[in-house]
Amino acid sequence: EIVEKRWEEALLDPELGSFDVVYFDTYSQDYKDLKKFFDEVPALLNGPNARFSFFHGLAGTNDFLYDVYTRLSELDLQSIGLSTQWHAVHPQLTEEVWRGIRREYWSLPRFLIPVSKMNL
């Protein structure tokens, strides 16, 4: 099931339920908003095998800040009972990818995909 709403609206639905997998597309959200969502994740996960992931594009044009946000995300997820593994992808982006895009939002040589699960 794909929930096509802002998360703040989706959580108001009393029939939302829980999920085996939750993926949050965080594009254009700042870390403060992402952290608020993190706090809601444990109630959305459906048991010990459920997983959570999100688009980790925070500071996607600055290697140092990207690493800072990666660690901060991991610590905040850990504080709510989730362990996180990071999977590196190395996109081969050409200038053509960004043609027609006002501002590049990604320019780093690697992209990290987080996969979190509840610690039991």
Query: What is the CATH number for 13?
Result: 3.40.50.150
Question: Three-state DSSP class for 40?
Answer: helix
Contact 67, 94 (CB under 8 A): no
Task: Return d(Cα 81, Cα 100) in angstroms, integer.
Answer: 41
- Give domain status of residue 2, yes or no: no
Q: What is the pLDDT of residues 7-27, one digit of tens each?
A: 889 999 999 999 999 998 877
The total domain count for the chain is: 1
Q: What is the pLDDT of residues 41-98, one digit of tens each?
A: 999 999 889 999 999 989 989 999 999 999 999 999 999 999 999 999 998 888 888 8
Residue 88 structural domain? 7-118
**Strand pairing class (51-54; 21-24):** parallel
What letter would DSSP give residue 47? S
Chain centroid offset of residue 82 CA: 13
- Give domain status of residue 45, yes or no: yes
